[in-house]
Amino acid sequence: MKKIPIGIQAFSSLIKEGFVYLDKSDMIYNLANNKACYFLSRPRRFGKSLTLSTLHEYFDGQKDLFKGLKIEKLETKWEKYPVLHFDFNSGTYNSVEDVQSRISYMISQYEKIFGKDEAAKQNSERFESLINSTAAQTGKEVVVLVDEYDKPLLNNIDNKELQNKIRSELKAFYSVLKTCDKQIKMAFITGVTKFSKVSLFSDVNNLTDISQEREFSTLCGITEKEIHEQLDDYVQQMADTNGISKDECYKELKKWYEGYHFSKDVVDIYNPFGLMKALYHKDFNEYWFESGTPTFLVKEIQKNNMKLSNLDRVECDENDISKIDNFAGNPVPLLFQSGYLTIKGYDKFFKTYILGMPNQEISEAFTKFILNFNFPKTGTEDFSITNFARDVIKGDYKGFMKRLTAMFADNSYQIVGEAELYFQNVTYLIFKLLGFYTEAERTTSDGRIDAVVKTPQYIYVFEFKLDKPAKEALEQINSKEYTLPFNAGERKLFKIGVSFSSETRKIAEWVAE
């Protein structure tokens, strides 16, 4: 068995050092044999860098590295082309000078090989000169690869003034791709996001966005078929370690790490980083989520007063997910492109997408993160979702209501915005997380039961009121016979009415029977 690769982005290292490589070389061949400028948007740690590294080795004519792969039956010439590979992963980009310095450094590495035009002062001028001199010296068209083009922009996404300066710098740099079009064999640009109105690529007249193209929907990430064909032995090992059957292990892996869709026909994609980490450690955990914190996204959700229950089902048109212009009132595009939402369905008649969280890793981890971000004392002894769930499971309604009351009291000073939305969001988060331990039907807004929680021995029916007596909430449960569907069973029923105060921003009172 080959070794499981974790975070290895160099194609040559995977092949030479005996790591698993999921063969995408047929798609690499199809991309490489068209004179075009491609753009691909994918979440972080989804294999964009490995894709560019594979293209680099292919255009460098490294035939031996591709021995036994699909491309070996497709390629016969193995021509070598000069490759200019620019990687923006490195750097902090706290100023436009940082961006200029990074571009200058990358250009200078190739100027050492192909010469430097002393008359060229600006980075864009040096880039143009570099492409022309490279083509002239080698007698070949040039391949340009750009990895994580948007990192300087994302690092300053909440600093519009600096971001605009960086956009201008990057636009001048990328405009060279059009100027030198005749000397370019292929260009391939990757990033997490698609900034459309910033016109970074407006001068690139043959730019082809393949981010949602069916043909390349599986270029990054791992499919169910690839796991069964190339990772089955590792799944068996993981199953043995956890004392479950292989079929059960496949089901758990699917629940935790699958669910990503990048095209209308919703081909299922596994998160490659999370899956490989799980197979390596032989354990189910929040590996991808823990590798980067979505603090900015949560701030945008909070700033735009989003109702968090809407994240379970977001309907939007193609423009909403295919570009990012700004985040005024709508952080959904960035949530989608960053990998926290994904395509769940497509309505052909209305041409709208249905988005939702892809899998258990994202749903559980993102919910915990939002709760702890907005209500940092939820990790205290008085309130943790685990202790809360334990009380629910053992029927201690006084215990979990005491914890819930303490949590609101501890965090009331941090609440901003509408009180009603706050109470809706926090109860949604708590009951959503509770659903990973029990069966929880979260809050609704159309007159139905606010929340129902079921355990093997107990059923809890909740009704929440804002600035009204808790007794009124309890009376509504009884008058509308909310518990009627559950009366036939043997489980013990609890009815709980809760009153929130918009003035104190706490639980004012609660009653139960």
Which one of 256, 290, 324 terminates a domain?
Answer: 290
User: Closest by alpha carbon to 100, among 16, 25, 162?
Assistant: 162
Q: Is 462 a member of any domain?
A: yes
Model pLDDT for residues 200-254, shown as the tens digit of each residue = 777 777 789 999 899 999 999 999 999 999 999 999 999 999 999 999 999 999 9
Task: For residue 492, name the pLDDT band (cuts at 50, 70, 90).
Answer: very high
Owning domain of residue 60: 11-213
DSSP state string for 410-447: HHGGG--S-HHHHHHHHHHHHHHHHTTTSEEE---SSS
Residue 367 belongs to a domain: no
Q: How far apart are CA 57 and CA 266, in angstroms?
A: 30
The answer to whether residues 46 and 273 touch, using CB atoms and an 8 Å cutoff, is yes
Asked if 195 and 52 sit in the same domain, the reply is yes
Per-residue CA distances from 224 to 263, 275, 302 (Å):
16, 11, 36
Contact 461, 482 (CB under 8 A): yes
**For residue 416, pLDDT beyond 60:** no
Q: What is the predicted pLDDT for the residue at 383?
A: 64
Whichever domain contains 61, its CATH number is 3.40.50
User: In terms of domains, do 336 and 422 share one?
Assistant: no
pLDDT at 488: 86
Q: Are 275 and 355 found together in one domain?
A: no
421 and 502 in a single domain? The answer is: yes
User: Does the structure show a pLDDT above 50 at 440?
Assistant: yes
Q: Is the pLDDT reported for residue 15 higher than 70?
A: yes
Count of the separate structural domains present in the chain: 4
Instruction: Name the domain boundary from 213, 236, 254.
Output: 213
Both 173 and 36 in one domain: the answer is yes
Q: Is residue 249 part of a domain?
A: yes
**CA–CA distance, 458 with 486 (Å, rounded to integer):** 10
Beta carbons of 480 and 450 less than 8 angstroms apart: no
Strand order in the sheet with 342-347: 314-317, 352-356, 342-347
- pTM as predicted: 0.91
Residues 285, 303 within the same domain: no
Q: Does some domain include residue 219?
A: no
Question: Domain for residue 368, yes or no?
Answer: no
Burial call 66-105: b when 16+ CB within 10 Å, e when fewer: beebebeeebeeeeebbbbbbbbeebebeebebbeebbee
Mean pLDDT on 484-488:
89
Indicate whether 285 and 322 sit together in one domain.
no
Residues 208 and 109 in one domain: yes
Is 6 part of a structural domain of the chain?
no
Say yes or no: 179 and 237 in one domain. Answer: no
Q: Are residues 66 and 145 in the same domain?
A: yes
- Mean pLDDT to the nearest integer, 149-159: 89
Please say which residue of 290, 324, 346 terminates a domain. 290
Do 187 and 174 form a contact (C-beta atoms < 8 A)? Answer: no
74 and 182, same domain (yes or no): yes
* pLDDT of 337 higher than 80: yes
Which pLDDT score is estimated for 198? 46
Over the stretch 57-71, which tens digit does the pLDDT of each residue have?
A: 999 999 999 999 999
Q: Tell me the mean pLDDT in the region 472-490.
A: 92
In the chain, the percentage of residues whose pLDDT exceeds 70 is: 93
Q: Is residue 1 part of a domain?
A: no
Paired residues of 208 in beta bridges: 38
Give, rounded to a whole angstrom, the gap between the first and last alpha carbons of the chain.
60
Indicate whether 130 and 44 sit together in one domain. Answer: yes
In a domain, 4, yes or no: no
Higher-scoring residue by pLDDT: 80, 310: 80
Give 362: exposed, middle or buried? Use CB within 10 Å, 0-12, 13-18, 19+.
Answer: buried
pLDDT score for 378: 58
User: Where is average pLDDT lowest: 210-214, 467-471, 496-500?
Assistant: 210-214
Q: In what side-by-side order are the strands of the sheet with 142-147?
A: 83-87, 142-147, 184-191, 37-41, 207-209
